[in-house]
């Protein structure tokens, strides 16, 4: 009876760890997507700094798959969304610096999540082997 309860407890822990791993992998995907967006933003800022002049025509996304043509009025300053309710005006260099800090934070978070996922994977592998051995013992 005690072996059965112990086996059920291990099985529950195994399922819990799998859920934790899946949750962390979901978070990792979100952070990676956000980092990709930041890289694109940084590249766009670099292009703005290096190759765009006043009155150049650009495409501006307005939602979904739709863009409109627009002209650049100011190549020196951009509007930077700090959060949902706050927008500040910064020069391009300061904006790149801000994006670089965010990218650094994202890379740290990616490293942390990856390490946690690897640790959980190792635990899952060990538990899986142990559970398989116990199931094999039950069959004999």
What per-residue confidence (pLDDT) applies to 7? 82
Q: Tens digit of pLDDT for each residue in 2-42?
A: 677 888 888 899 999 999 999 999 999 999 999 999 999 99
How much is the pTM? Answer: 0.80
Domain boundaries, given as residue ranges, for the chain: 2-135
Cα–Cα dist 90/62, whole Å: 22
Q: Is 67 left (phi over 0), alpha (psi -120 to 50) or beta?
A: beta
Across 86-120, b (16+ Cβ under 10 Å) vs e yields eeeeeebeebbebbeeebeebeebbeebeebbeeb
- Taking 70 as the pLDDT cut, the residues of the chain under it are 1-2, 140
Q: Is the domain covering 2-135 a CATH 1.10.287.370 domain? A: yes
Cα–Cα dist 129/140, whole Å: 17
What per-residue confidence (pLDDT) applies to 1? 57
What per-residue confidence (pLDDT) applies to 74? 86
């Amino acid at each position: 009876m005690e072996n059965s309860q112990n086996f059920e407890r291990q099985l529950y822990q195994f399922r819990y760890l799998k859920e934790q791993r899946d949750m962390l992998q979901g978070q990792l995907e979100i952070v990676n997507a956000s980092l990709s967006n930041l890289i694109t933003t940084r590249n766009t800022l670099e292009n703005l700094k290096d190759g765009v002049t006043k009155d150049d025509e650009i495409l501006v996304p307005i939602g979904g798959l739709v863009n409109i043509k627009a002209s650049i009025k100011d190549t020196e300053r951009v509007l930077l969304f700090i959060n949902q309710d706050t927008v500040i005006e910064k020069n391009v260099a300061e904006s790149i610096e801000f994006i670089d800090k965010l990218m650094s934070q994202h890379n740290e978070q990616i490293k942390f999540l990856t390490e946690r996922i690897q640790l959980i994977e190792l635990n899952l592998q060990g538990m899986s082997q142990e559970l398989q051995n116990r199931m094999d013992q039950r069959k004999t």
